[in-house]
Chain A
Amino acid sequence: MIARAPRNLSALLVLGIPLLWIVVFMLLPYGIIVTYSFWLKSYPTFKPAFQFGNYLTLLTDVQYLQVLGRTLKISILVSILSLGLAYPFAWWLVFRCRSQALRTWAYMAVIAPLWVSYLLRAYIWKTILGTEGILNSFLMSTGLISEPSSLFLYNQFAMVVTLTYIFIPFMVMPIYTALERIPLNLAEASADLGMGPVQTFLKVTLPLSTPGIAAGFTLTFCLSFGDFIAPFLVGGPDGNLIASVIQTQFGAALNWPLGSALSIVMLIIVLAIVSLSDRLEATAHTGAA
């Protein structure tokens, strides 16, 4: 009895602290948000209730579906663009870059912006894409355009470019890791069995890197989906994203119940994406040695 008590205590501590952390910092806030989402807006603030009016508003008032649709579109575009850029890059690093020094250097060059302030990174693109920005100066100096174009900044294109730049490390890292884990001799074995480089990539490298792609896609998608800085800095009049709307509901509109309902909808979408990617990774993993 005496011997057992401290062991139970330490077990309690070991399990209890993270459990407490999860309850206090994750479940409790979600619980509060869920509760608010059923409340009623009532000037000057809101009052407790249990009704689905907020969710109904989200479904019936076209503005929320519009913003949700746009946010999904932007996030998917960012994820696809990131994938398109990150995959060849990671592939080159792992399979083609012979110099260890160059590989480390190139990998860090992509990852390093993570240590730079998010705001600064978004601002950089403002400077590049602006009417009097670097891109326009460059295009004019090459003679491709005669007048500065305003097509690059303050629109969805600029948001996609900026978000891609900001979140691409989250695509590169898991893909790099997945590719690095593929034994080099698998590609040799495939070539040995008569498959050319393209078929080898499609049949061996690509399927084996699916977990990395899924993880990267999920990360970039979820991060873009919840972003509100890029629309604020480089987005245009048509750049309102779901997180900005939530922010407005908690701020300017002082409508916490509606903001909470929106947050819950957003959470459900993100969880759906995460579980989908989990399933994808699980299928890919059953075969891994």
Chain B
Amino acid sequence: MKKTLTAMLTLGLAAGPALAEGTVNVLTWEGYADPSFITKFEEESGCKVSATYVGSNDDFAPKLLGGGGIYDLITPSIDTTALMIDLGLVEPLDTAAITGWNDIYPKFLSQEGIQRDGAYYGMPYVWGAIAFMYLDSAFPTPPTSIADLWNPELKGKISLWDDKSSIYVAARKNGDMDIYNLTDEQIEKAKAALVEQKPLVRKYWATAGELVDLYKAGEVVISNTWAGYQSGLLKAEGVKVTEFIPKEGAEGWMDSWMVVKDTPNKECAYKFLNMQLSELGQCGVANVNGYSVANAAAAKACMPAEQYAALHQDDPNYLDSLQVWQALGDRFEAYTNAWNAVKAQ
């Protein structure tokens, strides 16, 4: 009896895609499922895309742990992908079913965070730097160092991302460059630096939109930023800002698509992955969010030369200068706790 039922259900599932009917539910960042390129995908594949947006990497685990089960695909950043694997929330990818897999920059494919036991769990998608940004009119001499975010003359005009990454920033300012393997002592030093900086801070920004508002309203003149994204939004608003990589370097980030364990919509999910790695998806997201993309071949094919250069698509030095986020594992708590303690003061 039970077997018959399973068989019937399997038949039913198999029949679905044949009729070109299906849905894919994605839990992702804003812009990663933008209608500008998703509509075309929906028409061609017959898969309907239903997107839910997150505001932070911290949203993925609670949403999936809290009895989720309705999402098929997620896009955590490279410091969160390992946690997803550790939590058993995602399943290994069938890389053979993904066209263009081998066109992905080797630097991203070599990231530990997306692999486990010889299998890939994440498909690199977009990347960028946690760059720094300043309001042109406020700086006759452009800032070059993280130390400028500690400049007392800028009191009340500084903003910093409300994230554990502030520990990375403070550590680099202190000269502790191995930011993903800080000792307790180094974390304590970073914490102290952040506490010292606190009176100078106008507001810790939590969302991309919030940072844009802060610049627009004239509240802040210098901050860190998701390279390409907020500066693009501000330029569209007519606010003149410039991104820069300070001499202490910047963190790099990379978002990967991951397939949620036991998704019933596997067929549409893989169609979606293929589209996202294709020229449609790669240039689609680059145009919407201003991020650099992971597929070197697609980028070369669909980007105008100017954009290609601006997004550092063929700039190995730039890429190598970035300290790409890493999973902190059991050190995670030490970092978040330090950051929370700073905020509590």
A and B in contact, CB less than 8 Å: yes
Complex interface: chain B residues within 8 A of A64 (CB): 344
Instruction: Confirm or deny: B206 has a beta carbon within 8 angstroms of a beta carbon on chain A.
Output: yes
Query: Looking at the complex, which of A74-82, A95-103, A174-182, A244-252 is the stretch in contact with chain B?
Result: A244-252
Closest CB in chain B relative to A90 CB, distance in Å: 35
Point out the residue from A63, A153, A254 that lies within 8 Å of B345, measured CB to CB.
A63
15 contacts between A and B (CB under 8 A): A43-B330, A45-B65, A45-B87, A61-B341, A130-B219, A150-B219, A236-B203, A237-B343, A240-B343, A240-B344, A248-B336, A253-B333, A254-B83, A254-B332, A255-B333
Whether, in the assembled complex, A35 has its beta carbon less than 8 Å from a beta carbon of chain B, the answer is no
Known: A63-B340, A251-B56, A254-B332. 14 other contacts (CB 8 A): A43-B86, A45-B87, A61-B341, A64-B344, A66-B345, A67-B344, A130-B218, A133-B217, A236-B201, A237-B198, A237-B199, A237-B202, A252-B164, A254-B83
Task: Give which listed residue, B206, B217, B329, B336, contacts A132 with CB less than 8 A.
Answer: B217
Contact between chains at B206 and A232 (CB < 8 Å): yes
Task: Verify B219–A253 contact, CB threshold 8 A.
Answer: no
Chain B residue at smallest Cβ distance from A151: B156
A236 / chain B contacts, CB cutoff of 8 Å: 201-203
| Interface of chain B residues 201 through 252 with chain A (CB within 8 A) | 201-204, 206, 217-219
Q: A188 an interface residue at 8 Å Cβ cutoff?
A: no
CA distance A242 to B66 in the complex (A): 22
Neighbouring B residues of A45 by C-beta, 8 Å:
65, 87
**Contact, CB under 8 Å: B58 / A254:** yes
Q: Which chain B positions have C-beta within 8 A of A237?
A: 198-199, 201-204, 343
Per DSSP, chain A at the interface is loop
Give the shortest distance, in Å, between B140 (CB) and chain A (any CB): 19
The docked-state distance in angstroms from the alpha carbon of A172 to that of B345 is: 34
Q: Which residues of A contact B163 (CB under 8 A)?
A: 252
Closest 10 CB pairs of A and B: A63-B344, A252-B58, A44-B86, A251-B58, A237-B201, A63-B341, A240-B343, A43-B330, A154-B203, A253-B336
Which size bracket describes the interface of A in this complex? 20 to 34
Q: Contact between A248 and B218 (Cβ–Cβ < 8 Å)?
A: no
The residues of A that contact B62 with a CB separation of less than 8 Å are 250-251, 254
| Chain A, range 19-70, C-beta contacts under 8 Å to B | 41, 43-45, 61, 63-64, 66-67
Question: Is residue B59 within 8 Å, beta carbon to beta carbon, of the partner chain?
Answer: yes
Chain A residues within CB distance 8 Å of chain B: 41, 43-45, 61, 63-64, 66-67, 130-133, 148, 150, 153-154, 232, 236-238, 240, 245, 248, 250-255
Q: Is the CB of B329 within 8 A of A43?
A: yes
A249 to chain B, nearest CB (A): 8
CB distance from B224 to the nearest CB of A (A): 15
For B198, B199, B203, B344, the residue with the greatest tally of chain A CB atoms inside 10 Å of its CB is: B344
Give per-residue flags for B26-62: 1 if the beta carbon is below 8 A from chain A beta carbons, else 0: 0000000000000000000000000000001011011
Sort chain B's interface into a size bin: 20 to 34
B219 touches A131 (CB 8 A): yes
Please, which residues of chain B bring their CB within 8 A of the CB of A63? Answer: 340-341, 344-345
The CA of A252 and the CA of B58, in the complex, are separated in Å by 4
Tell me which residues across on chain A come within 8 A of B86, comparing CB atoms: 43-44
Within the complex, the shortest CB–CB distance from A147 to chain B, in Å, comes to: 12
Residues on B with beta carbons closer than 8 Å to the beta carbon of A254: 58, 61-62, 83, 332
Cα separation A132 to B217 with both chains bound (whole Å): 6
- Check: B337 CB closer than 8 A to any chain A CB: yes
Residue in contact with A150 in the complex, picked from B156, B204, B340, CB distance below 8 Å: B156
Smallest Cβ distance from A236 to chain B, in angstroms? 6
Task: Write the nearest CB–CB distance from B56 to chain A, whole angstroms.
Answer: 7
* Cβ of B117 to closest chain A Cβ, rounded Å: 16
Q: Is the CB of B340 within 8 A of A131?
A: no
| C-alpha spacing A64/B344, complex, angstroms | 7
* A238 x B198 contact (CB < 8 A): yes
Q: Tell me which residues across on chain B come within 8 A of A61, comparing CB atoms.
A: 341
Cα A1 to Cα B214 with chains together (Å): 73
Residues of B58-97 at the interface with A, using a CB-CB cut-off of 8 Å, are 58-59, 61-62, 65, 83, 86-87
- Choose one: B65, B204, B217, B344; the contact of A131 (CB below 8 Å): B217
Rounded to whole angstroms, the CA-CA distance of A67 and B343 in the bound complex is 9
A150:B344 contact, CB within 8 angstroms:
no
Q: Is the pair A43, B344 in contact by a Cβ cutoff of 8 Å?
A: no
The answer to whether A253 touches B203 (Cβ under 8 A) is: no
Across the interface, do A238 and B345 meet the contact criterion of CB distance under 8 Å?
yes
Alpha-carbon distance A158/B202, docked complex (angstroms)? 13
- Smallest beta-carbon distance B43→chain A, Å: 35
Which parts of B175-208 form the interface with A (CB within 8 Å)?
A: 198-199, 201-204, 206
Q: Is the beta-carbon distance between B333 and A41 smaller than 8 angstroms? A: yes
User: Complex: how many Å from CA A262 to CA B120?
Assistant: 38
